[in-house]
Amino acid sequence: MNHLAFELNSVLDGTVAGRLLSNFGRRLYFPKGIIVQSAEAKKSAYEANGTIGMAYSGGTPLILSAIADNMPSLGPEESVAYAPTAGVEKTRTVWKKLIIQKNPSLDPEGISFPVVVPGLTAGLSYTADMFVSKGSIVLASDPCWDNYSLIFEVRRGAKLTGVPFFGNSANGLDMEAIERSLGETAKTGAARIVFNFPNNPSGYSPTNAEAEALAVLIRKTAEKGADVLVVCDDAYFGLFYEKNIIKESLFARFAGLHEKVLAVKIDGPIKEDYTWGLRTGFLTFGSKGLKAAHYEALVTKLTGAIRSSVSSSNTPAQYIMLKAMEDSRTPGEKEKYRSLLRRRYNTVKKIVHENSGHPALSPLPFNSGYFMSFRCNGINAETLRRELLSKHGIGTVALGEQYLRIAFSSLDEEKIPGVYRVVYDTAAELSAGR
């Protein structure tokens, strides 16, 4: 093991983060090589900087005219220069301010400086690299986003265990099921759970009461002696359509909850700021037991994971996002788009309520995000998906044999009633054996 990894591990030993590190996580470090030396030179080499593998002229990166013409608002440093491995510092600073602004109960000094990752998927994958080993058990909702299986099981050799977050109810979270699964996993000495809210595929976010109950449950698990890793996959944060939904991330509840709880927040503008293709996300750590030195060690290990995979995140995407976050037009436009999605949600909600007695389709609870999903009763979800696509030209997503997901976010409001009518009728026909 590299001596730099030993040094980082010695900083983290005795903390929940140190105990939760995977074998790979313990081996991670950030080399004091080209990147570190280049950063030092950027600050101090006032005469000449010959450290970085880029081509400059007059202190500015060389740039092709075709690229410059198509990035009129970005200068060469913002468009073609390498970004620091952990991300552009100003972008990280602005995002941390936004996290605090959106989560007012969060202690700004009790969390790490966010690190830029190339998309939220990468953030989840780096979290798995650091804290998930072969054979680790990772809890997630059942159904869950199908990429979790690739991230945790295929890449890391862990066991992804589905928890029936919604049981057989359309009314909210099944707290007993979550508590039962956490308690069983905690017997190993450590529990790892992913909370993805608004949930993909169900489109559900916890109520205020449910959020408090989850915090109590996580604290209770830690008090019984288990180290708890709580991953908050906040991809759809902010897209809330009902008044009783918790408006903060669960990260705000978990970050200062207990010394044996390590919370990881993975978020970004991809969904909530409508910048899907920019592939820019953030990863932030929070734990009651961690100090500045611990966070610095964790961030250094994380940058080692980034350096050894993609080297650094996309530079122009970070600056474009930064300009969008600082643009006075952005808040109004985001509210306009939220209102559009809220209208689509309300249309779907009304249709689902009117079809509450359907023989083959029962909805999972939904109140936020991009999606809603049906539990298929007595029919196969994949069969239904194929029927909708081949006979009616309607695209949906089957999750296993039991669940069908519909992204109302991509349906124009006037088309929603017709689409759902076909979905309900086709399911009824399959149920009747026609």
Domain 3-30+85-326 and domain 331-432 have a common topology: no
Q: What is the pLDDT of residue 50?
A: 47
Residue percentage of the chain with pLDDT more than 70: 91
Collapsed DSSP state (helix, strand, coil) of residue 403: strand
Is 331-432 CATH 3.90.1150.10? yes
- Which pLDDT value is given to residue 48? 42
Grade residue 35 by pLDDT with cuts at 50, 70 and 90. low
Per-residue confidence band for 276, with pLDDT thresholds at 50, 70 and 90: confident
Alpha carbon distance 175, 167 (integer Å): 9
CA distances 63 to 54, 229, 321, Å, are 11, 44, 21
- The tens digit of pLDDT for each residue in 47-86 reads 545 445 555 566 676 666 766 676 778 888 888 888 999 9
- 8 Å CB contact between 1 and 18: no
Q: Which of 212, 204, 28, 210 is nearest to 128 (CA)?
A: 28
Overall pTM > 0.75? yes
Greater confidence (61 vs 238) lies with: 238
In 3D space, the residue among 202, 343, 370, 140 whose CA is nearest the CA of residue 272 turns out to be 370
The pLDDT of residue 60 is 72
pLDDT(41) > 60: no
* Residue 23, amino acid: N
Mean pLDDT computed over 379-407: 92
Give every CB contact of residue 77 below 8 A, 6+ residues apart in sequence.
60, 61
In terms of average pLDDT, the best of 181-185, 318-322, 324-328 is: 181-185
**What is the topology classification, in CATH, of domain 3-30+85-326?**
Aspartate Aminotransferase; domain 2 (3.40.640)
Check whether 434 has a pLDDT greater than 80: no
Confidence of residue 8 (pLDDT cuts 50, 70, 90): very high
Confidence of residue 45 (pLDDT cuts 50, 70, 90): very low
Domain boundaries, the chain: 3-30+85-326, 31-71, 331-432
Q: Which two tokens stand for residue 397?
A: 């997503």
pLDDT digits (tens, 9 = 90+) for 97-142: 999 999 999 999 999 999 999 999 999 999 999 999 999 999 999 9
CA torsion through residues 67, 70, 71, 73, sign: positive
Between 301 and 340, the higher pLDDT residue: 301
Report the range of poorest mean pLDDT among 115-119, 194-198, 389-393.
Answer: 389-393
pLDDT reported for residue 334: 87
Give dist(CA 319, CA 83) in Å, integer: 10
| Residue 273: per-residue pLDDT | 83
Mean pLDDT of 330-348: 90
Q: Which residue has the tokens 């936020």?
A: 368
- Average pLDDT for 281-304: 96
Nearest to 427 by CA among 383, 364, 371, 366: 383
Q: What is the mean pLDDT of the chain?
A: 90
pLDDT confidence bin for 31, thresholds 50/70/90: confident
Model pLDDT, residue 275: 81
In percent, the amount of the chain with pLDDT more than 90 equals: 73
